[in-house]
Amino acid sequence: MATAVKYVGGGVPRKEDPKLLTGQGQFVEGLTLPGMLHMALVRSPFGSARINSVDVSAAAAADGVVAAFSGADLAGEWAAGLPMAWPVTDDIRIPDHWPVAQDVARYVGDAVAVVVATSRNAALDAAELVEVDYEVMEAVVDVEAALADGAPRVHESFDDNKSYTWTLTNGDVDAAFAKADVVVKERYRQPRLIPNAMEPRAVVVQSVPAAGDFTVWSTTQIPHVAKVLFALTLGIPESQIRVIAPDVGGGFGSKLNVYAEEALCIALARRLRRPVKWVASRSEGYVATIHGRDQVQEIEIAATSDGEILGYRVNILAAMGAYLQLVAPGVPLLGAFLYCGCYGGEAYHFECTGVFTNTTPTDAYRGAGRPEATYAIERAMDVLAREVGVDATEIRRRNFLPAGDMVQSPGGLAFDSANYEPALDRAVELLDYAGFRSDQAERRESGAGKQIGVGFSSYVEICGLAPSQVLASLKYAAGGWDAATVRMLPTGKAEVVTGSSPHGQGHVTSWSQIAADALGIPYEDVTVLHGDTHVAPHGMNTYGSRSLAVAGVAVYKACGRVVDKARLLAAHLLEVAPEDLDYEAGTFSVKGVPDRTKSMPELAFAAWTAHSLPEDSEPGLEAGCVYDPPNFTFPFGTHVAVVEVDTDTGAVELLRYIAVDDCGPVINPVIVDGQVHGGVAQGIAAALYEEATYAEDGTLETSSMINYLVPSAAEFPYFETDRTVTPSTSNPMGVKGIGEAGTIGSAPAVINAVVDALAHLGVTDVPMPATPERVWRAIQAAQGGEA
């Protein structure tokens, strides 16, 4: 029966949760197949080492072992090396990247041999029996050291460690700086971060030798993309590969890749003609799953004496790690246009150099380029405010781009929906800014040992990675479209098939809300199918906060086409012209005769029986949409952090956190708040706790949660969230994206707050993460003491 209930905008319960909360989730690790084998890898303990020989004989003879291989043994399995899909310049250096190293191990964790056994424990035990003769070489782990003359080369076939240099210039930058009254120049370091999804990576591969078919279950964010790349890497026809991403316990970009272990399981299943499974341990994931960030940033801002920005100069050194993972070279480009933030100016120059180091490869990690850009500009804005003697909120207001649609930014992009000041105003209101400054002044006057500070971050980000033509201009190998099919079933319920592949974002819930409103049926009557390339054959998957703005809009447009088809059928059955029908809440009614109606469930059954159809129409109510947006979307907002700093110990306590975001019209406020909470937590973690560090020889010093500090809920205050709503002009729903906003806005807000708390002591910067030791040293250095 049709319903007038509207679901979009309401906080309906997530459909995904009951099975997850009751232990009914279906994860790769829980999958067992008859005759299944287990894979373990032997990984290099050295940052750089030549492989003189690999002896697997003892491992091969161990109990339960079916086979053991070196990289050389498996060399014939590969049609190509592991894929890299974003060659950002014509002269980029792309090294061969084999699933198992054949000549040189280039980072701690680089696989050098593989063991397959009848149990996981047997495989792990036998892996310890593999004997590798290493010739240890000098490693280089720092991006600046890697570019120095005479630095050890990560790849001997290249004459240095530079992978590429990419530049962007708009306007006359030299002229803008020449006429500036004020120039601020800052240098920041983005620490290397280790993703910690709740579910470690895992893969199971089953082959059907007689048919040459392969089914791959993987903890991946990109089943459709992976299917294509598996085919290219292993030389298997794409039509013979099925990829299934079942329930996936988080990704944050770390599962936006094609990994060696996936390719190896396919190759071994083909070779051994039995199912093969691999599950990462947490510590193994720390070296074998991509890392994030790791940049050195220099940013210059030219301004007038009253703080009006004239131009920007930005230079970035970005660590690629030992190899180029799937989209690693392009990650800095996702922020390249945003080092001007949501501010104006006449000219802009950006340059990024990608650098090889003897470390785990980096790639997209929640925010992917945009947190780095936002950190640099938002920290520099506070420096500019102090330089010209105005408040941190005032410097932002003076430089915000004007409100409007398709507003041109200094970085060269047209922002689809700019309206930045209301978000800042709302954040200031929630904070009680005047009251805070009064409290701060009292503490400073009293010389209290614990000082408070406030930090602002007004961000804009790029979401909805599309359109395809723009991605082509940036040399990205794939498209930016996504696909959906919507079908009404004979019983009046609906099935939505989506190319997105969720791993915690709540797509099943949100897509059900969109379809229920469009089709006028209960939310409970919508089923969403995803994550299986045989069920949903087309898709570009989930990353970059693109799902709603691309795949969700595809669902919306496909629903509209179903309604259009239903209108023709209703007109036929009611014996009126299609234009003589009104449509509301899933029911067509004849204009002027409202009791003559046909509901969507009635039409679905009529279309299925096909007893009476309009001429030239087909049975069934079904429609698809492949949607390629005309532009990115540009969510924005202002985040505020309030901290208390113990000036004797350097300890930082986060007292309040306010997030005012603008992601356009909201589908489900509960999901949006959850995404903001999670993103903010990860950004705060980068600001105060997390940092992956390497010893000079390439050893990962932060190799577990014992020394890589992942905060818990106990470290966070209550997050205060609010929103402004400025619809996007890039899609008919006006939606943008929210999954990464919290991570993008939070780190600079927190560090700005720490610096603000200590500004009266002369502190102007505290590097991330602002550990007690770093804060204490910054205080000592500012006061002329030993730092």
Q: What is the pLDDT of residues 187-207, one digit of tens each?
A: 999 999 999 999 999 999 999
Contact by Cβ (8 Å): 226, 241: no
Cα–Cα distance, 764 to 775 (Å, whole number):
11
Cα–Cα distance, 297 to 283 (Å, whole number):
30
| Number of helices and strands in the chain (H, E) | 20, 28
Three-class SS of residue 379? Answer: helix
Place of tokens 């120039």: 183
Cα–Cα distance, 599 to 587 (Å, whole number):
4
pLDDT tens digit sequence for 605-639: 999 999 999 999 999 999 999 999 999 999 999 99
| Nearest C-alpha neighbor of 332 from the set 365, 360, 377 | 365
Close Cβ partners of 446 (under 8 Å, ≥ 6 residues apart): none
- Give the pLDDT mean for 527-555: 97
The C-alpha angle 341, 345, 350, rounded to 5 degrees, equals 60
Distances (CA, A) of 533 to 56, 113, 226: 37, 31, 10
Instruction: Answer whether residue 787 shows pLDDT above 80.
Output: no
Phi first, then psi: give them for residue 539, nearest 5 degrees.
175, 155
Q: What is the CA radius of gyration of the chain?
A: 28
Q: What is the pLDDT of residue 465?
A: 85
Give all strands (DSSP E) within 56-181, no chain letters. 65-70, 104-105, 111-117, 131-136, 162-170
Cα–Cα distance, 785 to 787 (Å, whole number):
6
| Nearest C-alpha neighbor of 140 from the set 112, 158, 161 | 161
Tokens of 616: 């030239």
Place of tokens 């007109």: 571
Tokens of 335: 């922020």
Place of tokens 């929103």: 723
pTM recorded for the entire structure: 0.97
Cα–Cα distance, 583 to 565 (Å, whole number):
12
Question: Strand 309-321 to strand 347-356: parallel, antiparallel, or no bridges (unpaired)?
Answer: parallel
Instruction: Answer whether residue 346 shows pLDDT above 60.
Output: yes
User: Band of the pLDDT at 2, cuts 50, 70, 90?
Assistant: very low
**Mean pLDDT (the chain, rounded):** 97
Q: What is the pLDDT of residue 3?
A: 47
Tokens of 613: 């159809």
Distances (CA, A) of 303 to 480, 765, 782: 37, 21, 26
